């Protein structure tokens, strides 16, 4: 039974790694935890060959059908910015599409948003990943502009839906999974969840009619949805971070919206949740709330504490024991459907051609949108790691 619990606990974790090669310590704890997958950052990525070797070895020590996550949104959040070439932001692409008019963005007759998704999908596969943690579907509102920058595509729900629908179609055409984020919406957050638990004082009706429109309309196209660590005190979740709230995960996302894909927490190392509760409590709480995958991006200590906390709770609570085993079975089934095979490597010539295509695309988008930013800002940690 203990072996089953350890397998179940590990299979809900998505973990970060320290550098560009596995250390002996990392190999040891990966064998112990057998996580659902890995998430890599700029610190882990030099070139496609090195990155593939790292991802292959790490996932070889992980659970079957491992997730291979990377953050490539375009703009300031792009882990391939130095290893490939900068990619335009979602906001710039959405603005360029608006200038071109419907269905006139690319040579194929599709939108620039679809081409954006296809190029990001092709880049993600080139480095050996099967998922990009994009698109951001938050509303680009003035109150969150300092934190979000150009990551959110538009200020109105219709604009976000238009971009997101085509972007996800572009990813799907390349066989890459996308992840809508940050549910239920950070467009009205003035604080950064890396440091604090922002209080978003919008009513549920306001959130349902605006922030949740992309999820309501496109949830069947989203293989994964990431929950955030903000609080919504004017709703039934009160001051609890959304990632730890049964109201947002189970009631709204699963029951009212009808979502059937994977629910992924934002990084559990963030201040938005760790200032609210310790990692051990957070791990158990988010699973009870309805999360499928728990993301821990940096600290080995916190990865192991989370792993042990899930096992300890399952050993003392029959209800949590059943929940953990059931959730692990469900997640394994969904991973097997979603992560089939390992993306093929590109030749040197194909990789160079991809870089040239991205450069031409970025130039076109920048000219049409008149401005864009691809350089991370000191105020936004998500844009640096």
pLDDT tens per residue across span 325-356: 999 999 999 999 999 888 899 999 999 999 99
Is 274 within a domain?
Answer: yes
Residues 321-338: b if buried by 16+ CB within 10 A, e if exposed:
bebbbebbeebbebbeeb
**Could you tell me what percent of the chain has a pLDDT over 90?**
90
Q: Please state the pTM of the whole predicted model.
A: 0.96
Q: How far apart are CA 36 and CA 307, in angstroms?
A: 12
Is 301 within a domain?
Answer: yes
Q: Which residues contact 271 (CB under 8 A, 6 or more apart)?
A: 193, 194, 195, 196, 197
| 266 part of the active site | yes
Q: Quick one: average pLDDT of 119-145?
A: 97
Residue scoring higher pLDDT (21 or 370): 21
Least confident segment among 216-220, 238-242, 280-284, 378-382 = 378-382
Is 80 within a domain?
Answer: yes
Q: Which residues contact 242 (CB under 8 A, 6 or more apart)?
A: 183, 184, 227, 228, 229, 230, 231, 232, 248, 249
Q: Which residues contact 40 (CB under 8 A, 6 or more apart)?
A: 16, 17, 51, 54, 55, 68, 69, 70, 79, 129
Catalytic residue (one of 47, 156, 194, 298): 194
pLDDT classification of 381: cutoffs 50, 70, 90: confident
| 209 part of the active site | no
Q: Quick one: average pLDDT of 358-370?
A: 94
Query: How many domains does the structure of the chain reveal?
Result: 1
Beta bridge partners of 69: 39, 131
Is 375 within a domain?
Answer: no
pLDDT of residue 3: 75
- pLDDT (tens digit, 9 = 90+) per residue, 83-97? 999 999 999 999 999
Chain centroid to Cα 335, Å, comes to 15
Is 349 within a domain?
Answer: yes
State the average pLDDT for the chain.
94
49 has pLDDT over 90: yes
Q: Which residues contact 245 (CB under 8 A, 6 or more apart)?
A: 237, 289
Residues 192-230: b if buried by 16+ CB within 10 A, e if exposed:
bbbebbbebebebebbbebbbbbbbbbbebbbbbbbbbb
Q: Please, what sign has the CA dihedral across residues 265, 224, 170, 17? A: positive
Residue of 153, 83, 68, 56 whose CA lies nearest to 112: 153
Q: Quick one: average pLDDT of 66-82?
A: 96
Q: Quick one: average pLDDT of 294-321?
A: 97
2 has pLDDT over 80: no
Is 8 within a domain?
Answer: yes
pLDDT of residue 108: 47
Contact 59, 66 (CB under 8 A): yes
| CATH code, 124 | 3.20.20.300
Catalytic residue (one of 138, 192, 266, 292): 266
Q: What is the largest CA-CA distance in the chain?
A: 60
pLDDT classification of 384: cutoffs 50, 70, 90: low
224 has pLDDT over 50: yes
Contact 139, 185 (CB under 8 A): yes
Least confident segment among 2-6, 136-140, 252-256, 325-329 = 2-6
Q: Quick one: average pLDDT of 297-305?
A: 97
Q: How far apart are CA 376 and CA 385, in angstroms?
A: 10
Contact 68, 81 (CB under 8 A): no
Is 377 within a domain?
Answer: no
- pLDDT (tens digit, 9 = 90+) per residue, 141-181? 999 999 999 999 999 999 999 999 999 999 999 999 999 99
- pLDDT (tens digit, 9 = 90+) per residue, 32-44? 999 999 999 999 9
Is 384 within a domain?
Answer: no
**Could you tell me what percent of the chain has a pLDDT over 70?**
96
Range of the domain at 335: 2-370
């Amino acid at each position: 039974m203990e072996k089953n619990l350890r397998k179940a606990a590990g299979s809900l974790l998505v973990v970060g790694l320290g550098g560009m090669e596995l250390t002996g310590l990392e190999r040891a704890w990966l064998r112990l935890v057998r996580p659902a997958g890995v998430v890599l950052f700029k610190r882990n990525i030099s070139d496609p060959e090195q990155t593939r070797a790292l991802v292959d070895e790490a996932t070889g020590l992980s659970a079957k059908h491992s997730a291979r996550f990377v953050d490539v949104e375009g703009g300031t959040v792009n882990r391939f910015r130095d290893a490939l070439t900068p990619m335009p932001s979602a906001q710039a692409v959405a603005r360029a599409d608006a200038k071109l008019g419907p269905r006139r963005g690319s040579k194929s007759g599709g939108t620039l948003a679809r081409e954006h998704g296809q190029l990001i999908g092709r880049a993600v596969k080139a480095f050996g990943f099967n998922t990009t943690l994009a698109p951001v579907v938050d509303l680009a509102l003035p109150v969150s502009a300092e934190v979000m920058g150009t990551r959110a595509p538009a200020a109105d729900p219709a604009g976000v839906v238009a971009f997101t629908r085509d972007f996800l179609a572009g990813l799907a055409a390349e066989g890459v999974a996308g992840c809508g984020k940050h549910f239920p919406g950070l467009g009205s957050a003035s604080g950064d969840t890396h440091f604090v638990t922002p209080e978003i004082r919008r009513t549920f009706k306001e959130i349902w009619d605006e922030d949740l429109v992309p999820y309501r309309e496109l949830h069947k196209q989203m293989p994964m949805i990431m929950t955030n660590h903000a609080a919504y005190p004017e709703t039934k979740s009160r001051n609890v971070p959304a990632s730890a709230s049964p109201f947002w995960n189970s009631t709204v996302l699963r029951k009212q919206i009808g979502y059937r894909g994977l629910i992924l927490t934002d990084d559990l190392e963030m201040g938005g949740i760790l200032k609210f509760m310790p990692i051990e409590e957070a791990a158990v709480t988010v699973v009870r709330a309805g999360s499928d995958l728990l993301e821990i991006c940096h600290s080995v200590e916190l990865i192991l504490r989370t792993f042990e906390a899930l096992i300890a709770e399952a050993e003392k609570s029959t209800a949590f024991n059943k929940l953990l085993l059931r959730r692990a079975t469900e997640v394994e089934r969904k991973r097997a459907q979603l992560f089939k095979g390992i993306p093929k490597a590109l030749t040197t010539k194909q990789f160079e051609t991809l870089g040239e295509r991205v450069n031409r695309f970025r130039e076109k988008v920048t000219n049409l949108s008149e401005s864009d930013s691809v350089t991370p800002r000191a105020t936004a940690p998500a844009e640096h790691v």
